[in-house]
A and B are shown apart, each in its own frame.
Chain A
Amino acid sequence: MTERRFAIEVEDLTLAYQDKPVLWDIDLHVPEGILMAIVGPNGAGKTTLIKTILGLLKPAAGRITIYGKPFVAQRKLVAYVPQRGSVDWDFPTNVLDVVMMGRYGRLGWVKWPGREDRELAMEALRKVGMANFAHRQISQLSGGQQQRTFLARALVQDAQIYFMDEPFQGVDATTERAIIQLLKELRAAGKTVVVVHHDLQTVSEYFDWVTLLNVRRIASGPVSQVFTEENLRLTYGGKVAFLSKTAVSQSTPDTLQPASSGG
C-alpha cells in the first residue's frame, strides 16, 4: 500500500469574530479518500472551520493547504455544499439552473454554460434522484429536495474534496440513506468527503474518520480510535446521556448519565 497523502492540512488555525475567538489553534490532517464527520455542539465553529478552509473567512493565524498547496491554487479540486438555509430559496430560478452554477468555476468569466454543462447537470440530478425536478422552480422544493439540489451542484464541480455543511439537516430517512450511499460512492472513487454532522448515533455507521470540535479541536482521527466517551464529554460538556451506547467504549462506559440529550 502506498503511503497515504493528506488531502487537507490545517496548522495552528485561529479565527475570531471581533474579539471572540471561534476557532482556537486548530490542527487537522485529513488523509485522502476518507469520509470524515465534523461534530460539535451548536456554535462550536464547524461552519466557520469549513468556510475558513475555503478561503471565505480570513483567519487571524494559521496555515491551510490542500494537497500540499495553498487553497487558492487548488480551488478546482474542491466542491462545497453550503448550509441549506444560507440562500434565499425564493430566488427566481429553477433546479437545473442552480445545479449548473457548479460549472461556473470551470467556465470562468463571461462564458455561458453550454450543452455539455447542461448534460452534466442532468446527470448529477439523476444521481441524486431529482431528474424529474430539473425545471421545477426552486421555491417549490421541499427541504430534502433543496438539499439534493445542492448536492447535485457539488457533484458537477467534479472535485477531489467535498465539503458539506449539514447535508442531512431536515431530510427524511430515505433521503439520508440515499445521500450517504452517494458519499460512499464518492469515497470509493478516491474522493475525500468532509461532512458537518449532528447525529452522533450514526457517526460510527456512516463515517470512517471524525473530528470533534468545540472552538478547539478536541480530537481527530479514525472513528474507532477517537470517537470515545471521554472525547465526547470534552466536546459537549456533561449533557450527553445517550452517548454511552454510541461512542466507542474504551473504558467503563457506565459512569455517564446526565439527563438531557445534547445536539
Chain B
Amino acid sequence: MELLNSLLFDYTLRTVALGAATLGIVSGALGSFAVLRRQSLLGDAMSHAALPGVVIAFMLTGSKTPVILLVGAAVAGWLGALLMNGVVRNTRIKEDSALGIILSVFFGFGLMLLTFLQRNPDARQAGLNSFLFGQAATLLISDVIPMAILGTIVLLLVLIFWKEFKLLSFDRDFAASLGYPVAWLDVVLTSLLVLAIVVGLQAVGVVLMSAMVVAPAAAARQWTDRLGVMVFLAALFGAIAGVGGAMISSLGSGLSTGPVVVLVVSGIVLLSLLFAPNRGLVWNWVRQQRDRRKLRLQSVLTNMYYLAEQHDDMAHPHAVTVLQAMNFGQGGVRRSLHVLRERGLVQESSSGFWALTAEGVEEARQLIDSRRAGKGGDR
C-alpha cells in the first residue's frame, strides 16, 4: 500500500518505474525473437560487450550523461555482434566459442578500463560502476524520455516487419528462397536486440541484462503457442520484473537493481515452468493423474460388462475381489466403484458385490464400440 502510494505520488519513484517498465517491455519483446532463434547467448555476449563502449564514451567526452554513454554501449555491442559474425563466417570457430571469446575479451577490456579510471584521482567516474550491476535509482526523467522514444521505435519496427521476422525466425532458408534479404534482416533484428539491451543497461547493468532478454521470453513461451501472444506476454513479464526490481532496489538503500530484477524474473520463470497450462510441470502431473483415473474407471466398467456378458445377465453382481483380480496392478478398484456409483453407472447389490445399472451397461457398450471402431480420429 505504501509502495503504491509512493508510486503514485513520488516523482522520482515514478520516473524509475517508467524507465524500468520501458526496458522490460522492449527487452521482453525482442528477447522472444532471440530465444526462438536460439540466440540467447548472443544477448549475453552483446550486453557484456557494451561495457567498454560505456567507459570509452566517458573517457572521450568526460560526460556522464547516460545518453552519451549508451551510444557508446550501442556501438560496442553492435561491434561485438558484427565481429562475432565475422569470426564464425571466416574461421572454423563455432558460434558458441565465438560468443565466449567476444564476451570475455570485450568485458575484460571494459573492466580493465574501469580499473584504470579508478586508479586515477578523478572522482567523476564514480557513477560508471553502476553500469556493472545497474542502479535504477539513478534514472532521471531526462534518461527515461530517450529510453521511451528509442523503445517505441524498436517496437514499431518489430510490428512493421512482423511477418518478415516471423518467417526469418521459423525458416530462414525458405525466406531466402522467397527473395527476402535474410542476411540483411538478420542484421536488423540483431541491431534491434542491441538497442533493446542498451535501453536497459543503466538500470539493470551489463552483467545481468541478458537475463531480461532470455527469462521473460522463456517464461512467456510456457503459456502460449502463438507468437503474438508470446511476444506480448514476454513484454508484460519484462515490465513486471523491471518495475518490481526497480522499486525494491530503490526502496532498500544502495541495493543494485540488476540482481533484484533477476530475482523477480526468476520467480516468474519458476511459476511459469510449474503452473503454465499444457507445458507446466504441475499441469502435466494433474493431467496424468486425471487420465490415469479415467482409464481406471473405464477399465472397471468394461470389465464388469464382460463379466456380465458371460453370465447372460447384465444385472449380475460381481465380487470386488474378482474385479480387483481383473484390474491387477492398477489398484483403486473400490474407489473407482464408488465414483461410478455416484454417476449412476453401478450399484452395490449386497456388501462387496457390484452390478452394472442399465445406464452403466449402455455406457460400457459405447466405450467398447468406440474402441473397436478403432483408434480412429486424431489423438
Contacts and interface: CB of A to CB of B under 8 A. Distances in A.
B285 interface: no
Contacts of A113: 163
Contact of A104 (B167, B226, B229): B167
Contact of B226 (A82, A92, A105): A92
B291 interface: no
B160 A93 contact: no
B164 interface: yes
A56 B170 contact: no
Contacts of B226: 92-94
Contacts of B163: 104, 107, 110-113
Interface of A: 18, 51, 54-56, 72, 75, 78, 80, 82, 86-88, 91-94, 98, 101, 104-105, 107, 109-113, 132-133, 137, 139, 153
Nearest to A107: B163
A181 B265 CA distance: 52
Given A104-B163, A105-B179, A132-B378, A82 B170 contact: no
B313 interface: no
Contacts of B161: 110
B173 A82 contact: yes
A55 B173 CA distance: 10
A97 to B, nearest CB: 8
A113 B162 CA distance: 12
A109 B164 contact: yes
A51 B167 CA distance: 18
A92 B176 contact: no
B227 interface: yes
Contacts of A101: 167, 170-171, 174
A90 to B, nearest CB: 9
B79 interface: no
A110 B176 contact: no
B318 to A, nearest CB: 40
B177 interface: yes
Given A55-B176, A105-B179, A139-B225, 12 more contacts: A54-B176, A56-B177, A86-B171, A91-B170, A92-B230, A93-B170, A101-B171, A109-B164, A110-B163, A110-B164, A111-B163, A153-B174
Nearest to B160: A110
Contacts of A110: 160-161, 163-164
Interface in B12-64: 36, 38
Given A110-B160, A112-B163, A93 B174 contact: no
A55 B179 CA distance: 9
Contacts of B177: 54-56, 75, 78, 80
6 contacts: A54-B177, A56-B177, A82-B174, A92-B229, A93-B166, A137-B225
